[in-house]
Structure 1
Amino acid sequence: MGMEIRKGKVSLSKELTDLDRFVLDVVGLIEEFFPYVIVSGYVTILFGRSRGTEDIDIVIPEVEKEKFEKLCREAIKRGFEFINPENCEGLYEMLEERMAIRMARMGEIIPNAEIKFPKDAFHRDALEKKIPVRLNDNTIYISPIELQIAYKLYLGSDKDIEDAFFLYELFREVIEWGVLKEYAGRLGVEIPF
């Protein structure tokens, strides 16, 4: 795996896994309709951390119902299905109620994309300040690393703390300490590194 890390931009070349291909297919579809940002566990997997995950957490902006329904219909045409037992209109109502919906390849449950509207200021920050990752010949968008680290520390499970440390070690040369401290303060967590 080859990686170049600069402030605000990452280039990554690697042999794609099935999970990577799934993510590229999902975000390729989503970005035809509206912006998105990937948050949580897949971010560390993308950069080489060996850990399992069943879902890819994706935040999308609050969009109009009609726009979402177009995405929903197109997803079904392209061989995806929604695991939630709802039609497109019902899925939109779930998003409005700040519930996540899950999309997977037809006939499969894992992996799936957990898609949600922003539920708090951190999700809105992730969308507004997302960073591009050039993955081979594709570009995907992830949450700012400082926010990822602070949020993982906030979640606090062993796996989340290991994720935070992994990202810290990988990005330590480009981390904006003021930004990381601000997020940590807002989340009420200490930075243990």
Structure 2
Amino acid sequence: MEIVFSGRRISLTNKKINRLDEFVFEVSKILERYTDYVVVSGYVSILFGRSRGTEDVDFIISSLSLETFERLYNDFLENGFEFINADDPKELFEMLIEKQAVRVCKRGTIFPNAEIKLPKDKFHLEALEGKLEVMINGGKIFISPIELQIAYKLYLGGERDIEDAVFLYEIFKDHIDHEKLQYWKSQLGVEEFEL
């Protein structure tokens, strides 16, 4: 796999697409018809080649109306997905408004699933506003800025999270803004963590 970093766009070539990638592409295509989104957390490191599994993929979406959410809901159903939390779109929308995540998966399965949520803090807002476009074999998805992704994984602090942060840092250390990385580490209280 070859990674080319150019401004706000990252191109991946010769990446072997797996079932998890296909799932993320499908969810992303539906979401982008109705709202802005960004993929955050563990899948970002998996996307760039880290060999580990995950059961869910985290998506942050921009605010949307109930009417728009109902159309998004129906689009998911028409494309072979189902919601895990509830069957009623109004109930799911209320969950989103209350800063809870809604989960969607392919019908008849549970994993992988997409955990979809509205921004709950300035870090989620920055992920949406500063998102990067990743081009993969003709498709695209949006991910959080690498600097924020690394700092947030350090903040989460689990062994797997720290390994994800180190993995991303090693890949992108020559392409990231180190001042931004330090800023986000400071904002998240992990500035003492050296990579």
Q: TM-score, normalised by structure 2?
A: 0.97
Aligned to 2:113: 112
**CA-to-aligned-CA distance 1:91-113 (integer Å, 9 cap, x gap):** 00000000000000000000000
Structure 1 portions without partners, runs of 5+ = none
Residue identity in the other structure for 1:18: R
Give the 5 Å matches for 1:54-73: 54-73=55-74
Q: How does 1:36-115 map to 2 (within 5 A)?
A: 36-115=37-116
CA contact (8 A) 2:150 2:168 kept: yes
Aligned to 1:176: 177
Deviation by residue 1:120-171 (Cα, 9 ceiling, x = unmatched): 0000000000000001101110000000000000000000000000000000
* Separation of aligned partners in 1, 2:87 and 2:125: 26
Tell me if structure 2 keeps the 8 A contact 1:7–1:174. Answer: no
What SS is found at the alignment partner of 2:3? strand
1-structure distance, mates of 2:33, 2:74: 13
Structure-2 residue corresponding to 1:9: 9
SS at match of 1:165: helix
When normalised by structure 1's length, the TM-score is 0.98
Divergent runs of 4+, >4 A: none
8 Å contact kept, 1:49–1:166: yes
- Structure 1: distance between partners of 2:161 and 2:54: 12
Percent identical residues: 51
Corresponding residue of 2:133: 132
Kindly provide the amino acid, as one letter, of the partner of residue 172 in structure 2: F
